[in-house]
Every structure is written in C-alpha cells, then in structure tokens.
A and B are shown apart, each in its own frame.
Chain A
Amino acid sequence: MDPALPRIMTRKVLRYGIYISIGFAVLGAIMIFISFRCINSNFTQLISSGGVNENLLSAFSISDNGTRLSDFLAGVGMIALVAIPIARIGLTICEFACERETFYTVIAVLVLIVLAISFLVVGPMEAGYGLFHI
C-alpha cells in the first residue's frame, strides 16, 4: 500500500464526515422547528433540576412522528460526527503500519481498543447496572 494513501483517506474522511454530519444536523434542526408547535415556548421550563423534562418535550411537539424524524436526522449527524475521530485512528493504524513503525501502530491499536471499551463495555454497563452505583 502507498504510505501516502491513509493520509489522503483521512483528509477525505474529515471533509466528507463534516459535510455529512453538518448536513444531517441542519436537517434535524429544521425538523425540530417544524415539529415543535411553538418555537416561542419557554426553553428554561424544559430544563428541570434533574434533567430535561420529557413530558414537556413531548407536549411541545406536534406529533411523535415529527419528533422521531428530527431525533433520527440529528442522531445520524451525531453518529457521523463521532465516527470521524474513530475512523482517523483506524487510518492512523494503517499509516504507521505502512511506514513499518511497529511501536506507534501498537499504540494506535491500543487507543482504538479504549474507544471500543467506552462504547461496548463502560457505556452499556453504566446505563444498565452502573459501575459506581451504590
């Protein structure tokens, strides 16, 4: 493999990743405005002391479908955005592997493993059982 290829790919991941994520985020924002009955509703009412008031959030929206669509579009934008740094690490592994720098290839793999642990182990555990919950 051409050692310059991972870096070219990274440039493309950054460029198109940003376009995709911002595109979906804008679509999500438009849908939020369409699906919310009154954009002049009191935002601060939504924020209760413990978090976002889910009942009020539902009451503000015209229909569940509209809310679901805006959440879906914004969600795709978020996932695309979070995928960028993960893809960068993947491509960095390729870059150092092509340059035959074993030490930094291993280090990059380690970083990817830590990211996987966050999404596949710690996040689900914290959501389900709680690591430090008494």
Chain B
Amino acid sequence: MITILEYFLLVLTIAYAAGFIGALVGMGGGVIISPVLTLLFGVPVAIAAGASLLAVIGTSSGAGFTAYGKNTPANYRIGLLLMTVSTVGAILGAVTTIFLSKSIRSEWIIYIIFGVAMMACAAALFRSKTEEDADQAIKDPLATKLNLHSSYYEESTKKRITYYPRNIPFGMGLNFVAGILGGMFGIGGGAFNNISMNGIMKFPMKVSAATSNLINGVTAASSFGVYYLTGNVYPLIAVPAVIGIILGSISGRRVLSKAKTPVVRFVFIAILVAIGVEMIMKGVA
C-alpha cells in the first residue's frame, strides 16, 4: 500500500532525478516519469502521460535558461523545422493513446512496440560514431540552402566546433515518429530527437541535446492540449512530478555546459535500454 504522502515524496524525489538527467541529455524527464507512474504506482497510461507531459514542459523550460545563454549550442533553425513535424505527430499520438486506453489488450501491444523501438534506437546509437570532428564533413546542399550549418564553443576542449548537418528529410521523418511516440506515452519525444539529430543528421551531441530541450516543450504542449481537454490531467498526480522536475532541471542545466559529451551519451544510452526493458517486461506481463 502506498499512501498519498508517500506518493508525493517518492514522485517528488524521482522527478527531481528525472529533471536533472533530462536537462543533461536534452530528452525531457518525462521519459522517466511516465514509466514510473505506470509501473510503480499503477497510474493508467493516459493519466500518466498527461502528468508526464507537464513534467516534460517543466524540464524544457527549466533547462531553457541555458539555451538562451551566451554560449548556447542550440540550433534554433533545425529546432523549428523539427517542431513542425513533431507537434503534428504528438497530437496524433495523444489521440491514439486515448483511443487505445479504452482496451487493456491494446495497451500491452503498444508497450512491447515501444520497448522494442527504444532498444533498437539505443543499439543504433551505441554503434554509431559521434560527429564532433565534423569540420571535415561534406556540405549537404539542402542543409546549406536551409542555413543549418553552424558552430558552437566546446568548453571541455576550449575549441570552437563547426558542424555540417545532413540527411535532413530522413531526420525530420524520424522526428514525426518521435512526436507520435512522445504524444502516446508523454515522453515529449526527446529521446528520438537526439537520435535523429545526432545519429542521422550528424549534429554534435551537445547541439542535439540543447536543441532537443527547445523542441520538447513545444511538442509536449501540443499533445498536452488533447490530454487536458479530455480530462486526463489530475493535479494530485501531476503536481509532485512538476515541482520535482523543474527543480531537477534547474540543477541539471548548471552541469550541462561543463559535461563531457561521452558521459552524456553513455547516460542517454543507459536510460534508453532501461526504459526499453521496462516497457517490454510490462508488455509481456
């Protein structure tokens, strides 16, 4: 048995940790909040997603202080381009979850698909190389036309890194899928944002993490509207998650600019695997 007080304190603590890691890797703490509410506390998926989306917006806004700092690695142009597809996907995802949540049998199938997708992405990211030395890269004509080539100051090496992204349409396609999954499970789509930006479009990990923070808040807001208006947002359930995650994300952003990319990458992969295993187990059970 879990009392209301225990729920509050546990979720507050977990949300603080989620906000901290979310700000660090730019994936939104909802990726942790949503499974925790569902798996540990038995909260129905749609209600957990509604609370989790608020938490994602909180993480995004808390970490946003960094994005508007002097040496921000965030790329606003690609952020906007990806938002056009991720927001549409998120609305579709939210509508799908509300529809599927009426049937418990469908929920288990969705859990397994989601878990397998997360594991596959973690494996793909583990095998791919980071593109921190992107100065040598060939300039993609579409990325040039869209004015997406840019640079940022890498604090750990005290060097300015210039990067030349590519594979923009493929990356946008994945972001649409990211939006759907984010809207379905209330994870904001940040995990897939990083994969599409870093793994496919070859943005440096730090750029993708900072830009993903910008995208997450807007994507989460687009699907939150659907959950809120269909009565799936309960203050009692959402409040401790929101308070914890905002405080955690404010702490996390202080570390973001000093964090070394391989560490961020390792944390990111480990979280993806953990969520994938959790989701598959939930689906099989």
Contact = CB atoms under 8 A, between A and B. Distances in A.
Interface of A: 7, 10-11, 14-15, 17-18, 21-22, 25-26, 28-29, 32, 36, 38-44, 46-47, 49-52, 57, 60, 70-71, 74-75, 77-78, 81-82, 84-86, 88-89, 92, 95, 103-104, 107-108, 110-111, 114-115, 117-119, 122-124, 126-127, 130-133
Contacts of A123: 225-226, 228-230
B2 A22 contact: no
Nearest to A40: B3
A80 B140 CA distance: 40
A104 B80 CA distance: 8
B57 A84 contact: yes
A122 B58 contact: no
Interface residues of B, number: 66
B175 to A, nearest CB: 13
B218 interface: yes
A75 B232 CA distance: 13
Main SS at interface, chain A: helix
Contacts of B235: 28, 32, 70-71, 74-75, 78
Interface stretch (B82-90, B191-199, B263-271): B82-90
B237 A52 contact: yes
A21 B249 CA distance: 14
A103 B146 CA distance: 9
Closest 8 pairs (CB-CB, A-B): A123-B229, A74-B235, A85-B217, A118-B225, A119-B225, A39-B5, A43-B7, A114-B87
A123 B50 CA distance: 13
Contacts of A84: 57, 61, 64, 217
28 contacts: A14-B61, A14-B64, A21-B246, A22-B243, A28-B239, A32-B236, A36-B4, A39-B3, A40-B3, A41-B3, A42-B3, A43-B4, A43-B6, A44-B41, A46-B4, A47-B42, A51-B46, A52-B47, A78-B228, A82-B57, A84-B217, A85-B60, A111-B83, A118-B87, A122-B225, A122-B226, A126-B95, A132-B96
B193 to A, nearest CB: 14
A117 B222 CA distance: 9
B242 A126 contact: no
Given A21-B246, A26-B243, A107-B84, A78 B54 contact: yes
Nearest to B214: A88
Interface in B177-221: 214, 217-218, 220-221
B217 A88 contact: yes
